[in-house]
A and B are shown apart, each in its own frame.
Chain A
Amino acid sequence: MISSLLRSLWLVFRHLFRRNVTVQYPDEQPYLPPRYRGRIVLTRDPDGDERCVACNLCAVACPPDCISLQKTEDEDGRWRPEFFRINFSRCIMCGLCEDACPTYAIQLTPDFEMSEYDRQNMVYEKEDLLINGPGKYHEYSFYRVAGKAIAGKGKGQGLNEKKPVDLHDLNL
């Protein structure tokens, strides 16, 4: 027993001469990979439209329930969030919202420097979250593959869709 205790002491003592593993943040900025789970953004599809269709899946997946939104439908037939709010003072950066998102709209970024003196400033609205780009997924556009018709894409014009059935056609 005593030898094991002494061995522990010796092993720990030897670390006096090891290099530090910690980084002197913020003097030194560490490298964060692109898939690091930091500040959440809402992205746009390649055509520049909001990707979020207000399906509410991120909100229900969120363990601390810090996402809230309201669906609205625009003239063009697209679903959009009327408001989209993330309370970052509750967010645990788990990334489940990104996993749940069926349209790649919600994505986590390698930015984590979000400290505020006033907690109220940690509440981000859609305007604060929306970025002008597609984020990590450059080509995906939900409405191109969805069956719902929107302005500029009628029934049967989506990816892998036949022309709408004409009921007056005898060759059904």
Chain B
Amino acid sequence: MAKVTITIDDREYEVDEGQNLLHACLGLKKNLPYFCWHPAMGSVGACRQCAVIEYMARDDTRGRLIISCMTPVRDGGVYSLEDERAQSFRAGIIEKMMVNHPHDCPVCEEGGECHLQDMTLMSAHTMRRYSGRKRTFNNQNLGPFINHEMNRCITCYRCVRYYQDYAGGRDLQALGRNQQVYFGRAEDGRLENGFSGNLVEVCPTGVFTDKTFSRRFVRKWDLQTAPSVCEHCGVGCNTAPGARDDGKGDPRKLRRVVNLYHRDINGYFLCDRGRFGYEYANSPERILQPLQADTQPLIQSTAAAGEKIHRPLPPQDAVAQLADIIEEARLGKRRLLGIGSTRTSLENNYALKTLVGPANFYAGVSAGTLQLLHLVNAIQQDPQIHSPSTPEIEQADAVLILGEDISNTAPRIALAVRQAAAEQQRQRARALDIPLWQDASVRQLDSPPTPIFIAAVEGTDLDGIARETVYATPDEIAELALEVVNQLPGAVTESQTEASDSLATQIARALASARKPLIVCGCGLQSPALLRAAAALAKALAANPVNSEGTASCALYLACADANSLGLTQLCSEQQHLEQLLSETAQENSLPSTLLAMEVDLFWQLPDEQAARILHGNQLIQLDSLYNHTSRFAQLLLPSAATPESEGTFVNSSGLAQRYYTVYEPSGYIQESWRWLANATAACAARAGGVEKIPALADMAQWQHVTQVSAAMAAGIPQLSPLSELGPDWNTLVAGAPVARQSHRFSGRTALQAEVAVAEQPPPRDPDAPMAFSMEGIQFAGYSPLQANIWAPGWNSDQAIHKFQNQPGGERAPAASGQSLRRATKVFEIQVTDTGVPKTPVNADLLTTLPLYRLFGSGELSRRARSIATVVGQAFVHLHPDDARALALCAGEQVCLPGSDTTFEVKITAVAPQRCIGISAGYSSPQAVVAMSPQDIRPFVENPQGNSS
């Protein structure tokens, strides 16, 4: 990019051309106040807070006041931030904004990380001169996530610009006029958009605050943080969870989650599942200590067959019991089968695999899911396929979404796709020489929207920006994709002649003429055919010379369900799934079997009946963080750490391995799953008389630090070799000191624990990372990528992030996290004519089952978060009006489905394919059948005895 030379306050700087002056000043790490400007949303020049003086030339002494966010940097431009007039103008602006601002800071959740506080101080407005009456507003109840306190508003319009223009929400508006603009809904109610939580960070003051945080509020400086990765979907957004111990052993230590900037993944924004889903870690259903099945015969209870009642067990006894079982397995007296998990780290899975041996390790997913994951893995290895980063998605100029409901399965990607909708406008702006940060001007450009095509099984949040939306079954969508391949220019097929205006032709034309086309698909619909078709289309597009600016690869985003779906895929073959485990355990075998289920709920992954069969007759040892359906059958339950309580590695849907770090010491006897396994192995070694006596597990028995597990994996598995470069080793200091998790203002050090014992205890040591559970160590995020407390002098709010980017919106300094997997490049062989699309069921009587995902409800962990649980609602089925009429079902009716205890609410919607039944995913165990007979859908009858079924 071309450089220009500008002079600010008599010093010369070289800056990139084309940016605005505010952006340039912040990039130069200057302190210039602003409100309405946001690095992701550009400038509108509404608040006038960033005024500076511009001089005509060096010898000009008068100059004129300009609004820096609206002024492009000019080569040879001479500016002054510190001129007396500019300073007094800015002080005047802030004084006017503060006229109506209430005297609320002590009782405001924003206080201490408030952009308005920072800017007020920066502008040196320290005394309120206004003594008249302040305008007030009534607040609205915006649901369980967001607090509303309108008195504090300074009318910067950031909230509606974010909510409407950026996130596509419609239910938050600027109402009223004049001095009395009101930002709110037409009436009380939850903000519908799935990204409403970002208002907390976007609002420069305390109008929108985090209600879940407010319940057990502490100030930002009192939270200890560490870089973490969101565990609620496969996108891999970086987060900065904040925790604080109450000194009395309350396990609810995690207080909130905020965004941690990562340019290539989440940028400045998180989805609401990621932001508010953290509360599962504080759930009363957390397992805090080892539990053992009570051997006393049960008094008649509500427990079903095989279900157990548990009682606490001292941890050393639990380790001894596990060691007994490992010992028996080692001596060949017992089969030990491990079930890995897609929602826990690579390290945990690898430890389990090492313990039980590769042959006895199974992925804790169904055969279908594992097949899909391997398919995704194989597709991403193709040199013509390219997994796009979020900025790349935002700049796509033609998008085709194939079946995947990304608003609910990979929400942050949906937000990025929404930005792509304006890409055509941006291209036109470039052509007209309008800078892209001129937000209002770009938006007003008369240009057709970016062609976005959506093929879905139900109405999605992105339908509003789509040029065409089609509702079809997965197989039909796959066929559509193949049809598009055939319609691409250059593809000579017989179907090209007919119906030249069909949807497929339109899509083909749009994709073929785009320079940066994007295909989005995923595992959500459980259809391998769909994935293959998406790959075929992407490969065909990559071969198209217009595309991809000559890189000969096409962007294909494939969404996987869980935070580490793709990671687990690297550790097991396509055959090591739960159905295989079922057939393995069903075989006659003289040996007793023990299942070691790690952070997996079998009833979440498999239909009830299959899960029950796996558990039947086998001893179950479970390691998990939350007590779930599977836990009821466990002989021994070991408490594992939740993501913010542990360190490990996740591989996101794009194949990027990212390490997350321990934010706080977990309560009770909770520890990482691999530690339980390593402890038991060490106990086993001690009994055998030394680690050399158990050569297969010798290394594992000596694992002390999670980085040792990572290193073992990096050494042993070629595609995971980047793990050794992911982060510092547990004892390697980053900048000569450990990284402090607590801020330099952390309070209560000598009082927090004083109720229990007045003598202060030393902080616990972190065995896994060079980080301290105290305020001693590196405090400044510029010195270490491990520092998640984003703070700079004068910048207490999250806006301080620009101090740690090479420029606003750029890469995080000193380094961004993550390493791509080193997977071998391998061409994904696919025949367009034979993608394995099965023909629609011949039996027209059957209804195809479709999993329907919800942001709140389809996440295994997030749906158990306290606030999210209040909006999850009931399990439901979607029916097309025609099908509903045929079944004689009305909306709101309760029905039962075969093989499930759950009752479902009938919802009738026209935006759905016919001859299908959409079933809410995650509200009950998955359905066993791909298609069901209408007779199986039975109306729910209230059973006077109590339970249904």
Instruction: State whether these chains interact.
Output: yes
The complex places the Cα of A161 from the Cα of B748 at a distance, in Å, of 36
A86 interface hit (Cβ, 8 Å): yes
Per-residue CB contact flags for chain A residues 152-165 toward chain B (1 = under 8 Å, else 0) read 00011010111111
B-chain residues with CB within 8 Å of residue A53 when the two chains form the complex: 106-107
A-chain residues with CB within 8 Å of residue B112 when the two chains form the complex: 56, 60
CB atoms of B748 and A68 under 8 A apart: yes
Binds B, one of A2-10, A18-26, A119-127: A119-127
B368 interface hit (Cβ, 8 Å): no
Chain A 9-65 residues near chain B, CB threshold 8 A: 53-57, 59-60, 62, 64-65
A1 interface hit (Cβ, 8 Å): no
| A interface, size bucket | 35 or more
A79 interface hit (Cβ, 8 Å): yes
A-chain residues with CB within 8 Å of residue B749 when the two chains form the complex: 65
A114 interface hit (Cβ, 8 Å): no
The complex places the Cα of A161 from the Cα of B751 at a distance, in Å, of 39
CB atoms of A165 and B107 under 8 A apart: no
Q: How many A-B residue pairs have CB under 8 A?
A: 140
Residue ID in chain B nearest A101 by CB atoms: B106
B134 interface hit (Cβ, 8 Å): yes
A64 CB to closest chain B CB, in angstroms? 6
CB atoms of B103 and A146 under 8 A apart: yes
B-chain residues with CB within 8 Å of residue A79 when the two chains form the complex: 106-107
CB atoms of A167 and B104 under 8 A apart: no
The complex places the Cα of A60 from the Cα of B220 at a distance, in Å, of 11
B111 interface hit (Cβ, 8 Å): yes
The complex places the Cα of A72 from the Cα of B152 at a distance, in Å, of 21
CB atoms of B175 and A167 under 8 A apart: yes
Residue ID in chain B nearest A105 by CB atoms: B106
CB atoms of A56 and B219 under 8 A apart: yes
Chain B 97-127 residues near chain A, CB threshold 8 A: 102-108, 111-112
Most chain A CB inside 10 Å of its own CB: which residue of B106, B131, B134, B749: B106
B735 interface hit (Cβ, 8 Å): no
CB atoms of A148 and B750 under 8 A apart: no
The binding surface of chain B is classed by DSSP as: loop
B938 interface hit (Cβ, 8 Å): no
Residue ID in chain A nearest B747 by CB atoms: A59
CB atoms of B103 and A147 under 8 A apart: yes
The complex places the Cα of A60 from the Cα of B178 at a distance, in Å, of 39
A94 interface hit (Cβ, 8 Å): no
CB atoms of A125 and B102 under 8 A apart: no
The complex places the Cα of A122 from the Cα of B98 at a distance, in Å, of 42
Chain B 441-469 residues near chain A, CB threshold 8 A: none
Residue ID in chain B nearest A55 by CB atoms: B106
Binds A, one of B404-412, B753-761, B782-790, B819-827: B753-761
Known: A120-B757, A148-B102. A67 touches B751 (CB 8 A): yes
* Cross-interface CB contact of A67 among B103, B152, B748, B759, cutoff 8 Å: B748
The complex places the Cα of A142 from the Cα of B105 at a distance, in Å, of 11
B-chain residues with CB within 8 Å of residue A60 when the two chains form the complex: 112, 219, 221-222, 745, 747
B618 interface hit (Cβ, 8 Å): no
Chain B 504-561 residues near chain A, CB threshold 8 A: none
CB atoms of B136 and A67 under 8 A apart: no
A109 interface hit (Cβ, 8 Å): no
* Cross-interface CB contact of B107 among A67, A85, A146, A162, cutoff 8 Å: A146
Chain A 62-118 residues near chain B, CB threshold 8 A: 62, 64-73, 79, 83, 85-87, 89-90, 102-103
* Cross-interface CB contact of B176 among A59, A89, A172, cutoff 8 Å: A172
The complex places the Cα of A90 from the Cα of B221 at a distance, in Å, of 21
CB atoms of A123 and B755 under 8 A apart: yes
B222 CB to closest chain A CB, in angstroms? 7
Binds A, one of B22-30, B210-218, B281-289, B720-728: B210-218
Known: A147-B136, A148-B107, A164-B136. A65 touches B102 (CB 8 A): no
Known: A62-B747, A87-B751, A165-B137. A57 touches B106 (CB 8 A): yes
Residue ID in chain B nearest A77 by CB atoms: B107
A145 interface hit (Cβ, 8 Å): yes
B282 CB to closest chain A CB, in angstroms? 14
Chain B 151-178 residues near chain A, CB threshold 8 A: 151-152, 175-178
The complex places the Cα of A103 from the Cα of B176 at a distance, in Å, of 34
B182 interface hit (Cβ, 8 Å): yes
The complex places the Cα of A65 from the Cα of B105 at a distance, in Å, of 22
B689 interface hit (Cβ, 8 Å): no
B946 CB to closest chain A CB, in angstroms? 35
* Cross-interface CB contact of A55 among B105, B151, B215, B750, cutoff 8 Å: B105
CB atoms of A67 and B134 under 8 A apart: no
CB atoms of B758 and A120 under 8 A apart: yes
Residue ID in chain A nearest B217 by CB atoms: A71
* Cross-interface CB contact of A123 among B102, B222, B758, cutoff 8 Å: B758
A-chain residues with CB within 8 Å of residue B175 when the two chains form the complex: 167
CB atoms of B105 and A102 under 8 A apart: yes
A116 CB to closest chain B CB, in angstroms? 10
B138 CB to closest chain A CB, in angstroms? 5
Known: A87-B751, A147-B136, A161-B136. A103 touches B106 (CB 8 A): yes
CB atoms of A70 and B107 under 8 A apart: no
* Cross-interface CB contact of B750 among A66, A125, A149, cutoff 8 Å: A66
Residue ID in chain A nearest B152 by CB atoms: A147
The complex places the Cα of A91 from the Cα of B138 at a distance, in Å, of 42
B58 interface hit (Cβ, 8 Å): no
CB atoms of B758 and A162 under 8 A apart: no
B-chain residues with CB within 8 Å of residue A62 when the two chains form the complex: 747
B-chain residues with CB within 8 Å of residue A70 when the two chains form the complex: 216, 218, 246
Most chain B CB inside 10 Å of its own CB: which residue of A53, A60, A102, A120: A60
Per-residue CB contact flags for chain B residues 133-150 toward chain A (1 = under 8 Å, else 0) read 111111100000000010
The complex places the Cα of A146 from the Cα of B104 at a distance, in Å, of 5
CB atoms of B218 and A67 under 8 A apart: no
Known: A155-B136, A160-B133, A163-B136. A102 touches B106 (CB 8 A): yes
Residue ID in chain B nearest A122 by CB atoms: B758
Most chain B CB inside 10 Å of its own CB: which residue of A68, A72, A125, A155: A68
The complex places the Cα of A167 from the Cα of B176 at a distance, in Å, of 6
CB atoms of A145 and B103 under 8 A apart: yes
B-chain residues with CB within 8 Å of residue A56 when the two chains form the complex: 112, 218-219, 222, 747
A-chain residues with CB within 8 Å of residue B754 when the two chains form the complex: 66, 68, 85, 87, 123
B350 CB to closest chain A CB, in angstroms? 40
Per-residue CB contact flags for chain B residues 733-752 toward chain A (1 = under 8 Å, else 0) read 00000000000011111111
The complex places the Cα of A142 from the Cα of B757 at a distance, in Å, of 34
Chain A 116-140 residues near chain B, CB threshold 8 A: 119-120, 122-123, 125
Chain B 901-931 residues near chain A, CB threshold 8 A: none
CB atoms of A147 and B747 under 8 A apart: no
Residue ID in chain A nearest B743 by CB atoms: A60
Per-residue CB contact flags for chain B residues 323-344 toward chain A (1 = under 8 Å, else 0) read 0000000000000000000000
CB atoms of A165 and B750 under 8 A apart: no
CB atoms of A162 and B134 under 8 A apart: yes
CB atoms of A165 and B104 under 8 A apart: no
Residue ID in chain B nearest A70 by CB atoms: B246
A154 CB to closest chain B CB, in angstroms? 8
* Cross-interface CB contact of B151 among A54, A87, A155, cutoff 8 Å: A155
* Cross-interface CB contact of A86 among B103, B106, B751, cutoff 8 Å: B751
B709 CB to closest chain A CB, in angstroms? 36
A-chain residues with CB within 8 Å of residue B178 when the two chains form the complex: 172
The complex places the Cα of A161 from the Cα of B132 at a distance, in Å, of 8
Known: A68-B747, A102-B105. A89 touches B758 (CB 8 A): yes
Can you sample 26 A-B contacts with CB below 8 Å? A55-B106, A55-B107, A55-B111, A56-B112, A56-B219, A59-B751, A66-B754, A67-B747, A68-B247, A68-B751, A70-B246, A71-B218, A85-B755, A86-B751, A87-B754, A89-B758, A120-B758, A142-B106, A146-B102, A146-B103, A147-B104, A160-B131, A160-B132, A165-B136, A165-B137, A167-B175
Name 4 extra pairs, CB < 8 A, besides A85-B751, A155-B136, A162-B134. Answer: A53-B106, A59-B747, A73-B215, A164-B137
Closest CB pairs A-B (n = 8): A147-B102, A68-B748, A55-B106, A59-B747, A68-B751, A65-B749, A147-B151, A87-B754
